[in-house]
A and B are shown apart, each in its own frame.
Chain A
């Protein structure tokens, strides 16, 4: 079985975001970028499936700028076999990305697609579900455990009330949640080998996909900040304040 993973290049999760003064977005110049952490979990899961013999090849796809090649190389260093960059300088939005991935799926015919549940920049949480819809496939979103057997997957999903387990005939789309696995470090030999693995660059036009954003960002602002209140000396004072000052407990 071939597995397709999609990865996004995002501002590193450690970077403290600063909103641009002209309110057009957040500051991204001279900021560290890395692979979206949920996508890293997706790639790790694919590599584990390959190591367990459940998969034979891993193709990793990014839709984004030239610099996203670096993100793809990271995925190759983790153990993906081939990479495809759908190169665009447009702001990528989930529907467009899902359409691009659908076109890649048509060419590659994977048995399973694994993507991160959401990107930590736009926090959309849409791409995997949209791709499943466009393909007419089933989906296992927010997966915290995957087991493959008899041509289908058993996916344990994180839901509001706890865990839900579903059976998912293949082909299907899975989106990775936080606790699916802990991604490995790439080894030095694999980082070096990644350089020599194939990385194909395709234009959205060649796929017949229009990536023009459907949503327009009009303004980006700082959220209202909360300032520190007071320190109380003991529990009795705390309870008194909650009762009499804040009036949040009877």
Chain B
């Protein structure tokens, strides 16, 4: 048994979600090889090689992979798939885009966003927006799996670095072309990896008012998130969205401000360790999942909170 795990990285940095996926891979067992795909990713490979439990790092470093388009990425993975019993990746937008393609090319089923490993062929995954958990078994020879990062602890670094081995790029299927990216730039930690998340909802009333949250986030070293209602209202960009169709987060502390707590939002944050809700509507459903609830006008409470911290 052996596992090939696709590393997630951004701007030359290994992303933490990779470490969570490594923990899932270790629960499956067998040799663990990490695949780093990109352009100028030596540092990423280096970081990956140090993670505890990694036996080998494969690096496909090529201008072809500067932007992780699904077609060339899946072609590469398929070319390396022989001999692996499992192909894993953290459930990022890159892997969600490419891995179903890999599975189809290998003619095997795929398991999306697992939250538990029961055995090498048996996994737990949420269905119905997390309102039910299914234990699923695959009969296929190769298991193609994405891992929900929040469900697994991050693997730390081991005693020794694993060997790093270059692999060749495969021919570009040339089925799509990268045009441009419009990525949010932020000094703050990334939403899915942050230890603390401060999120705002429709109650924030405008995009400008999010600076009240940002001030607190900066004090706490937290990421800033938002509900779908706030994103749909145009207060903040889509990548802020926490919820069923946005990002799934599970920080140590989640502070929900002016968020009513629609089911689809709760699906994205209810695994947080501590949830704080600040809302002026005492009946808001968010209070039903909050460890600490404060019924207050957020425009009064946030400056106070800022001062108190």
Contact = CB atoms under 8 A, between A and B. Distances in A.
B111 A134 contact: no
Interface stretch (A49-57, A60-68, A75-83, A223-231): A223-231
Interface string A185-203: 0000000000000000000
B219 to A, nearest CB: 9
Interface string B131-143: 1111111111000
Interface stretch (B81-89, B120-128, B159-167): B120-128
Interface in A165-198: 165-169, 172, 177-179
A178 B245 contact: yes
Contacts of B252: 248
Contact of A165 (B180, B184, B192): B180
A139 B103 CA distance: 15
Interface in A216-247: 216-223, 226-232, 234-236, 238-239, 241-242, 246
A242 B291 CA distance: 10
B181 A218 contact: no
Contacts of B131: 16-17, 223
Contacts of B137: 215-216, 218
A239 B112 contact: no
Given A17-B132, A122-B127, A130-B101, A228 B179 contact: no
A228 B184 contact: no
Contacts, number: 250
B91 to A, nearest CB: 9
Given A122-B127, A221-B132, A236 B308 contact: yes
Interface string A127-154: 1111111101111111010000000001
Interface stretch (B39-47, B48-56, B68-76): B68-76
B71 A228 contact: no
Interface in B225-240: 228, 232, 237-239
A242 B274 contact: yes
Interface residues of B, number: 86
Interface stretch (B25-33, B207-215, B282-290): B282-290
Contacts of A154: 179
A231 B127 contact: no
A135 B142 CA distance: 21
A129 B181 contact: no
Given A169-B176, A223-B133, A248-B252, 11 more contacts: A95-B109, A121-B127, A122-B127, A138-B176, A139-B175, A158-B93, A162-B239, A179-B238, A215-B139, A231-B295, A238-B292
Interface of B: 10, 67, 69-71, 74, 92-94, 96-105, 107-113, 122, 126-140, 173, 175-184, 192, 196, 220, 228, 232, 237-239, 245, 247, 252-253, 263, 270, 273-276, 287-296, 301, 304-305, 308-309
